[in-house]
Amino acid sequence: MTAQREWFEKDYYKVLGVSETATAKEITRAYRKLARELHPDANPGDEAAEERFKEISAAYDVVGDEAKRKEYDEVRRLGPMGGMGFGGPGGGSGSGPGPGAGGAPFGFDGGDLGDILGGLFGRRGRPGGGASRGPGPQRGADLEAELHLPFREAVTGVTTSLHLTSDAACSTCHGSGAKPGTVPTTCGQCQGRGVLDDNQGLFSFSTPCANCGGTGTVVTDPCPTCRGAGVERRAREVKVRIPAGVDDGQRIRLKGRGGAGRHGGPAGDLFVLVHVDPDPVFGRDGTNLTITVPVTFTEAALGTNLTVPTLDGSTVTLKLPGGTPSGKVMRVRGRGVETKKTTGDLLVTVQVAVPDTLTDEQRQAVEALAAVFPDTPRTHLGV
C-alpha cells in the first residue's frame, strides 16, 4: 500500500469524529451515522454536504480497513520526512521534488522504492513496516470428473459414487505429515510465522523461512507413508448427490471434494461434468419432457381417447379431437422435469402413422377411401 499525501494532511479520525484508539465497530458506527446524514440523496443540491460525504468516505476507506489503518497510523507517526517522499507540506507525490527537497529520490514514492528493492533482492517489502505472509497452507487442486447418467436418473435426481485417483489426506497421519504418535513442532527459526523479517528502517522485508519452507512448523519424525507431505495419491470414492433436472453437459461443483490441501490448507473443489444418455421414449426441451405418439389415420380423422405414458410409469388420457393433423402438439401440465424452481410440462406430439406395406384387402379399402375424397389438399399451392 502506497501512502498518499493526504495521509499527512488530514486526520481521518477527526473527520469521522472518533478517537485514534476507537475500535473498528466504533469507526463503522460513526461512518454509517454520518453517511446517512450527508448522503446526496438526502441532501439534493447541497454541494457542501456532497463534499463532506466524499470526505468521510475517503476517511473510512482508510481507517475502516484494518491493514490500511495500520499503515496510516505508522506513516503519520513517522511524519512526512520519514515517508521518503510520500507527500506532505513542501513535497509532492510521484514526480515531486528531487533528493534533499523533501520528496522521494528521482520522483519515486515509497511504494515504488519498496517494489524496486523487493525485485532486486527477491524479497517483498512495503512501507510502514509489517511482514508479508509466507507460503504457509496451500489449497488443494481443483479436479474434474465425468459422470454418465441414464436419462431418467438425470430427470429425477440420484445419489451415486465417483471413483477418483487423486491427492488425498494421508491415511496414516491424516494430513499432519508426522509419524503416528508424534506431532509437528513450531519452527524455532521463525517462531511459527513462516517468514523471516529484515527490518530496514521504514521498510520491512520478509522472506519465506528456509527452515520450515514457510509453513511455520517442522516435522522432525516424518510419516512413513507420505514422507512428511501430509498427502498421498490414492484411489478414493466420492459420494455425489445429483439434483433433479440436471442437463446434458452441465458442470456441478462440489466444494471441498477436490485434491487435498497441504500444510493444513483447504481441499480444492471437484467439478463433475454430466453426460445424459438418450431415452428411447422421452426427449427433453428445457424443463419440458417430449414424447411422440403415433396414431392411425382413422384415429386422427374421427378422434379418439389417447393413452400416453409418463416418465414416472403412470399414464394420462388425452381426448384427441376429430380432424387432428399430424404434428399437433398437446400439453400435459406439470408432468415434465421437476426442479427446485419450477416444474415443466409433458409435450405430446401426434404423428399419423403410415403403413409401409398393405395387404390386398387394405389396399382396396384405401382406394375406396380415396375415391370418396377426390379433392386434393394442395389446391392452395396453385399446382
In DSSP notation, 48-114 reads HHHHHHHHHHHHHHHHTSHHHHHHHHHHHHHHHHHTTSS-BTTB-SSS---TTTTS-GGG--HHHHH
Q: What pTM does this model have?
A: 0.52
276 beta partners: 149
Decide if domain 6-127 falls under CATH 1.10.287.110. Answer: yes
What does each of the 383 residues of the chain score in pLDDT, given as a tens digit? 444 566 777 889 999 999 999 999 999 999 888 988 887 777 777 778 888 888 888 888 888 888 889 888 888 777 654 444 444 333 333 333 333 333 444 334 444 444 444 444 444 444 333 333 445 567 888 889 999 999 999 999 999 998 888 888 888 888 788 888 888 888 888 887 778 877 665 556 677 788 777 777 888 888 888 887 788 888 888 898 988 999 999 999 999 888 888 766 788 899 999 999 999 999 999 999 999 999 999 999 999 999 999 999 999 999 999 999 999 999 999 999 988 888 999 999 999 999 999 999 999 998 898 888 878 888 888 87
Name the strand (E) or helix (H) holding 186.
strand 185-186
Going by the DSSP 8-state scheme, the letter that residue 164 receives in this structure is E
Strand ordering across the sheet containing 288-295: 283-285, 288-295, 346-352, 329-332
Instruction: Measure the CA–CA gap between 148 and 249, rounded to whole angstroms.
Output: 10
CATH topology for the 143-276 domain: Chaperone, DNAj Protein; Chain A (2.10.230)
In terms of DSSP bridges, do strands 270-276 and 143-149 run parallel, antiparallel, or are they unpaired?
Answer: parallel
What would the grid cell of residue 255 be? 466444494
| Domain extents in the chain | 6-127, 143-276, 283-372
Decide if domain 283-372 falls under CATH 3.90.79.10. Answer: no
Instruction: Measure the CA–CA gap between 63 and 383, rounded to whole angstroms.
Output: 84
